[in-house]
């Protein structure tokens, strides 16, 4: 463990702020692993005055960075991706140590960072606007995109490095600088990533404050980001209540925000679907990252004709789930992130039982020394009862029946969240209905694959209480820039729009 930490520049005591130099004069926090309760390192949070200085440096760095040609900015992002490749194994192990996901998932998360850097490199030559016909003779209309400013990135513990990279790679090629406030549960991965970016920026001769860091509680450091007009865009990943708070503060100052909030993702299993595909997709979707993904499968809506056979086979899969140290390949599921997460899961199970849910199996603490382990839980419910409509960030999976496909879609859409969804069917009419405007109301809708796991090429995000934000691929880059419309007159005379005449 110490070798991994040292290779990534993590010491016993680490300052939690960076904008060209490392600072940390605030309260200290000890970081322990949910795997076994072992102390990893200590981090010193930043003070409000240190934060102000960090933000000032990030804002100053933007004034120069925005003038660098976008393809040159892309070269820097490419180098960051190359550095991540060199550190992939160590960084993945740190992700596993600090938040508890399996090592194979940690490796996948770092690969996602590398992939978004590759995507952003190509994007750096495609920040295009449109040219439009003008109603005036000898005129041309066009739109173009300019760098926006400082992007404040507030991330959650469950993807402690990938979400930062989604935002950072795109923001950097767009000409923005980034100020990162990570989850207080996973500060070490943030320090390691910032050191990687620092090295690359220094090697290129750029101000390392382009990628800044401020570790601290959300109620103080997070709110300083949300309320400061020098932060042009706030990208927040977290809970629905947290998103309401962030959105209100940012909107009050007319800032821009990306909100990536709760998910309550369902898979519809049709009697016309492939049961093998359904079982594999749902099983990983529910237990992957110990149910702590925003895209984790939370609900399964099964046609009544296949419900008994499906639930029997799913229970058999659950019974053979190997739970333990996530660094060992034989284990499919590691711990939850901390002890309060285990308590929250048990409370949720108690509430859903009181509302009429029936626990089929799981939901039991496991006595691994110092760890936060629990068995994944299957609960049979009579539809979207109140507790089912809430997102429990843990491996609790609700099973329900349906008769008609229209009923299944209504159940799928009948929750406040709208992130990810899926249908397992070989009926083209069912799949097309599911993808149509009369189908899933989520930002992500899949056919014959699960709810969990999104590729960086597509824009990521959801609707309703999920917040409406979009990150990563497609044209999500546009939110990191400011749009400008231009009218160019090459006629040699002045002609007003809408046919207005002016006699002088």
Q: What is the mean pLDDT of the chain?
A: 97
- pLDDT value at 503 more than 90: no
Phi–psi pair at 73, nearest 5 degrees: -65, -35
Query: What does the block give as tokens for 69?
Result: 């040609």
Annotated active-site residue 174? The verdict is: no
- Per annotation, catalytic residue among 294, 372, 377, 442: 294
DSSP 394: S
pLDDT digit string, tens, across residues 77-136:
999 999 999 999 999 999 999 999 999 999 999 999 999 999 999 999 999 999 999 999
- Burial of 437-460, coded b for 16+ CB within 10 Å and e otherwise, reads eebbbbbbbbbeebbbbbebeebb
pLDDT for the residue 48: 97
Radius of gyration of the chain (CA): 24
Residue with tokens 């709810």: 451
pLDDT digit string, tens, across residues 451-497:
998 899 999 999 999 999 999 999 999 999 999 999 999 999 999 99
Cβ distance 391 to 262 under 8 Å?
yes
DSSP 231: E
CA distances from 20 to 31, 36, 165, 227, 391 (A): 24, 35, 19, 23, 39
Query: What does the block give as tokens for 422?
Result: 């899926």
Cβ distance 17 to 208 under 8 Å?
no
DSSP 275: H
- Per annotation, catalytic residue among 83, 112, 260, 465: 260
pLDDT level of residue 53 (50, 70, 90 thresholds): very high
pLDDT for the residue 479: 98
pLDDT digit string, tens, across residues 140-150:
999 999 999 99
CA distances from 258 to 116, 246, 248, 370 (A): 18, 10, 12, 37
**432/452 Cα distance (integer angstroms):** 20
CA distances from 176 to 74, 150, 167, 225 (A): 12, 6, 10, 15
Annotated active-site residue 260? The verdict is: yes
pLDDT for the residue 451: 98
pLDDT digit string, tens, across residues 249-290:
999 999 999 999 999 999 999 999 999 999 999 999 999 999
- pLDDT value at 369 more than 80: no
pLDDT for the residue 370: 82
**226/242 Cα distance (integer angstroms):** 11
**32/423 Cα distance (integer angstroms):** 39
Query: What does the block give as tokens for 211?
Result: 């990628």
**358/6 Cα distance (integer angstroms):** 48
Tell me what percent of the residues of the chain surpass a pLDDT of 90. Answer: 97
């Amino acid at each position: 463990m110490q070798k991994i930490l040292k290779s990534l520049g993590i010491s016993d005591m680490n300052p939690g702020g960076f904008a060209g130099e490392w600072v940390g004069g605030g309260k200290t926090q000890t970081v322990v692993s949910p795997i076994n309760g072992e102390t990893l390192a200590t981090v010193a949070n930043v003070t409000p005055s240190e934060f102000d200085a960090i933000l000032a440096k990030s804002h100053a760095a933007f004034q120069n960075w925005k003038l660098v040609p976008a393809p040159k900015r892309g070269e820097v992002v490419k180098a960051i991706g190359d550095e991540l490749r060199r550190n992939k194994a160590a960084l993945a192990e740190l992700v596993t140590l600090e938040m508890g996901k399996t090592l194979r998932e940690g490796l996948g998360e770092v690969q996602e960072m590398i992939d978004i850097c590759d995507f952003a490199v190509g994007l750096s030559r495609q920040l295009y606007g449109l040219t439009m016909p003008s109603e005036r003779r000898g005129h041309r209309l066009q739109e173009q995109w300019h760098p926006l400013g400082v992007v404040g990135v507030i991330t959650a513990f469950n993807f402690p490095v990938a979400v930062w990279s989604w935002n950072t790679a795109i923001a950097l090629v767009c000409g923005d600088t980034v100020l990162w406030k990570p989850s207080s549960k996973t500060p070490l991965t943030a320090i390691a990533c910032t050191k990687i970016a620092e090295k690359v920026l220094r090697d290129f001769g750029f101000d390392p404050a382009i990628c800044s860091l401020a570790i601290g509680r959300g109620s103080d450091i997070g709110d300083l980001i949300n309320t400061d007009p020098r932060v042009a865009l706030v990208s927040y990943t977290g809970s629905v209540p947290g998103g309401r708070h962030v959105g209100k503060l940012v909107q009050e100052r007319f800032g821009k925000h990306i909100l990536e909030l709760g998910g309550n993702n369902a898979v519809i299993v049709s009697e016309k679907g492939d049961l093998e595909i359904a079982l594999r997709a749902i099983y990983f979707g529910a237990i992957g990252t110990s149910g702590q993904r925003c895209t984790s499968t939370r609900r399964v809506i099964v046609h009544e004709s296949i419900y008994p056979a499906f639930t029997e086979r799913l229970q058999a899969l659950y019974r053979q789930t190997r739970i333990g140290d996530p660094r060992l390949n034989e284990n499919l599921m590691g711990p939850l992130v901390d002890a309060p997460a285990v308590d929250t899961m048990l409370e949720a199970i108690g509430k859903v039982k009181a509302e009429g849910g029936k626990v089929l199996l799981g939901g039991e603490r496991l006595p691994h020394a110092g760890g936060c382990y629990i068995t994944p839980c299957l609960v049979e419910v009579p539809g979207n009862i109140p507790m089912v409509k809430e997102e429990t960030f843990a491996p609790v999976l609700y099973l329900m029946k349906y008769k008609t496909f229209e009923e299944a879609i209504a159940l799928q859409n009948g929750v406040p969240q709208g992130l990810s969804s899926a249908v397992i069917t070989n009926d083209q009419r069912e799949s097309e209905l599911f993808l149509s405007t009369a189908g899933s109301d989520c930002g992500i809708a899949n056919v014959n694959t699960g709810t969990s796991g999104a590729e960086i090429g597509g824009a990521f995000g959801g609707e309703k209480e999920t917040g409406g934000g979009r990150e990563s691929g497609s044209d999500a880059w546009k939110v990191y820039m400011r749009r400008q419309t231009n009218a160019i007159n090459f006629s040699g005379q002045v002609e007003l729009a809408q046919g207005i005449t002016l006699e002088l």
